[in-house]
Amino acid sequence: MNTNTITFKVNDMHCASCPRLIQMDLEDKPGVIAVNANLETKLVVVEYDPVNLSVLELIQTIKDSGYTATIL
């Protein structure tokens, strides 16, 4: 399986529960292999299977969690 890694800037994370929520929601998506959400850097790094999941779906998942993601 080929995987891709993408980094998003999520400037509206503001407390410790924000990265946990984003991480849990992304991990629930089929095709997501690993997620690292960091409040201090406001970065979310996602390793995913591009055959099963698109970048737009990742952005939408973050949006559905209540946050805005920008691709770095």
Q: Could you tell me how far CA 67 lies from the centroid of its own chain?
A: 10
Please give the torsion angle defined by the CA atoms of residues 19, 41, 45 and 6, in that order, rounded to the nearest 10 degrees: 130
Give the chain's domain count: 1
pLDDT in tens, the chain (72 residues): 799 999 999 999 999 999 999 999 999 999 999 999 999 999 999 999 999 999 999 999 999 999 999 999
**What residues make up the domain containing 61?**
4-71
pTM of the model: 0.95
User: Residue 12's domain is classified under what CATH number?
Assistant: 3.30.70.100
- The 4-9 sheet, strands edge to edge: 32-38, 43-48, 4-9, 70-71
Any idea what DSSP says for residue 15?
S
